[in-house]
A and B are shown apart, each in its own frame.
Chain A
Amino acid sequence: DTGVSQDPRHKITKRGQNVTFRCDPISEHNRLYWYRQTLGQGPEFLTYFQNEAQLEKSRLLSDRFSAERPKGSFSTLEIQRTEQGDSAMYLCASSGDSGADTQYFGPGTRLTVL
């Protein structure tokens, strides 16, 4: 078990382009979370999955954002028509089934929108 992994680690894109990030959770974890962290701030919750079901979405997740977790394994987060305000670190975390289980984080994907 190598922990939570994310790809790519860094992404630079031009405004208006679409980008997609991938997260691979710890293998036995059924819950997967996405957070966004801007400079000087703590992470903010975006959405989470229980297996393949998306159970909660933050109001921060505008209609330009979409997340999927096909087959309950890896997850993708897509941002369409990127804006400069989307520049941030996108963090993925996973945990076991219980609400008491600790969330373990991946290294993040740093997005820069020019």
Chain B
Amino acid sequence: AQTVTQSQPEMSVQEAETVTLSCTYDTSESDYYLFWYKQPPSRQMILVIRQEAYKQQNATENRFSVNFQKAAKSFSLKISDSQLGDAAMYFCAYQGGSEKLVFGKGTKLTVNP
């Protein structure tokens, strides 16, 4: 079974600075997708960024980018120019041959003004 590990339960960053959230996963599949979702307090989960495993190029979405290392099974999220609205729980998720998403336990990000 696939597993997703987020080793940082909590992280903090100063406004306008850069922070990197870590995620590793375990799978024997070669074709899969990886996601970062954001869940603000008492609000719904929204997609931040996704990466197809067959693509070597790292995905970017405005201030959000990933460092995808397929051989190392690592998928970190970098947030540049952090804003107060970035404060949330961030979940790394894996989707392989089964349609379900497998989530990590999350990282709580605090942005300090």
Interface residues of A (CB under 8 A from B): 31, 33, 35, 40-45, 48, 55-56, 58, 91, 93, 99-100, 102-108
Contacts and interface: CB of A to CB of B under 8 A. Distances in A.
Given A42-B91, A42-B105, A100-B33, A105 B100 contact: no
7 contacts: A31-B99, A35-B101, A42-B4, A42-B104, A42-B105, A43-B101, A45-B100
B50 to A, nearest CB: 6
A61 B47 CA distance: 26
A95 to B, nearest CB: 8
Contacts of A42: 4, 91, 93, 103-106
B101 A103 contact: yes
B35 A56 contact: no
B104 A33 contact: no
Contact of B100 (A41, A56, A91, A107): A56
Contacts of A40: 105-106
A76 to B, nearest CB: 19
User: B43, B47, B52, B101: which has the most chain A beta carbons within 10 Å?
Assistant: B101
A105 B45 contact: yes
Contacts of B46: 105
Contact of A44 (B35, B44, B103, B106): B103
A104 B99 contact: no
A108 B46 CA distance: 12
Contacts of B44: 105-108
A103 B104 CA distance: 16
Nearest to B47: A102
Contacts of A108: 44
B95 interface: yes
Scoring A31, A35, A43, A91 by chain B CB atoms within 10 A of each residue's CB, the highest score goes to A43
